[in-house]
Amino acid sequence: MKKLIFIFLISSNLAFASNWVSIWKRDYLEYFLDTDNVRKDGAIVEAWTKTNPHLNNAGETITSVDFWRIDCNNYTSKFYSVTVKDNIEIATFSSNGNILISDTGIAFQIYKRFCQ
């Protein structure tokens, strides 16, 4: 049931998203941030990101949409992800707890744009 609710939330949010901006790129993979739907409440930032369609190690075309929750005071992040493979299979993943933000990656890109 949680998976269905999360997929619904993602699909409804994407329908209204209108301003995807590239925030991080490496080799074949590019991440985009929906700047129209970033929410900041005190030290907490919530944001949506997505990847460009790309090939994984198995040669399958995948893309993902992620919801991030960044704690600016504690330098931690939490995320929920939905990955679509070959436009058919959907997989979900979430971090079980707060993860310390490294100085690379998506959480850091969101942190430096909205927490500093």
Q: What is the pLDDT of residues 50-83, one digit of tens each?
A: 998 888 888 888 899 999 999 999 999 999 999 8
Residue 2: is its pLDDT beyond 90? no
pLDDT of residue 16: 54
3-state secondary structure (DSSP) of residue 59: coil
Predicted pLDDT at 56: 83
CATH number at residue 30: 2.40.128
Q: Could you tell me the residue range of the domain that residue 61 belongs to?
A: 2-114
Beta carbons within 8 Å of 51's beta carbon, 6+ residues apart: 29, 30, 31, 32, 62, 63, 64
pLDDT at 86: 80
Please, how many CA atoms are within 13 Å of residue 84, restricted to the half-sphere of its CB?
13
Tokens of 10: 């993602």
Mean per-residue pLDDT for 78-105? 85
Counting the structural domains of the chain, the total is 1
Give me the pLDDT at residue 46, please.
Answer: 97
User: What is the structure's pLDDT at 87?
Assistant: 75
- pLDDT 10s digits, 6-22: 444 545 455 454 699 99
Q: Tell me, what's the pLDDT at 14?
A: 52
28-44 pLDDT, tens digit each:
789 999 999 999 999 99
